[in-house]
Structures are given as C-alpha cells and as structure tokens.
Structure 1
C-alpha cells in the first residue's frame, strides 16, 4: 500500500476526525472509502456518458424500436404468450 499526503482544510479535518471517532474507524480508512466510492461513481458516470453518446448515434442513424412495439411487448409481460423484446426496425 502506498502513502499519499493530503492537505485538508481545517473544517474538513474536524469533520473527518469527528466521523472517525463516531464510527470507530481510522481517518485513513474513511478517506480510502470516500475515494473508492468517488472513483466508482466517476467510472460509472463515464460509462453512462459513453452509452448515451452511442444511443444518440443510433437514433441519428434511425436505429430505433417503435413505441408501439415496446408497448405490445410490455403488455405481454406475465402472460403465457409473453413476447420477446422488440428489435430495431420493428
């Protein structure tokens, strides 16, 4: 494990200290958890943005599923003759 120094604003340091005491965890553990969650969120955000760009490109190319086909599919859910998800061009 590596060591990295971080300068904290006094109010952040005070909040961190209080949280470490209340949760019976070290400040290092709390900082690691916070950074881990931040990195995961940023990664998810980047993935969602790429998926959004891909979806917008598909729409621009006319690669879409009609609302009617989706509605028919949804109405079939839970029935004996449940339909497969609609495909592009249906």
Structure 2
C-alpha cells in the first residue's frame, strides 16, 4: 500500500470519518513512516485554518496553497515507498 492511501485514511480520521483501514494498521504505518508522520503533524497544525476556510468554501487558489503546504506537489520527488 502506498503512502497516499494511508494519508487519505489519516485525512478521513482527522475529519471524524471512517478511515477505511484498521486503526492498528494505520497507526503502525505512521509509527514507521517518517513522511506520513510529518504529513500528519502538518495536517494537524493546519486543521484550524482548514476548518475556517471550509466554512466559507475554499477557493481553488486556497486549495492549491494548502496542498502545496502539505507537500503533495513534491510527491514525485519522494521514493516510491514514501508516496
């Protein structure tokens, strides 16, 4: 399973939605994967901003800046095991 799938599950969990993965598996991956651990920490720091913007409906520009801050635009630079 690629990191992108774990990050989708982490995002769902942050939003209070079902992650689609066993919680133990998700937690074990985060414990082992520096990239996902860093992504999660960044997402948790940005969470208040995301909630505030969601109330007004984020613009495409805001969404692009958020994804850039989360490092999604650098996914191709990471080794395959960290995507």
What band does the TM-score fall into relative to the shorter chain?
0.3 to 0.5
Higher helix share: 2
Q: TM-score, normalised by structure 2?
A: 0.33
Larger radius of gyration: 1
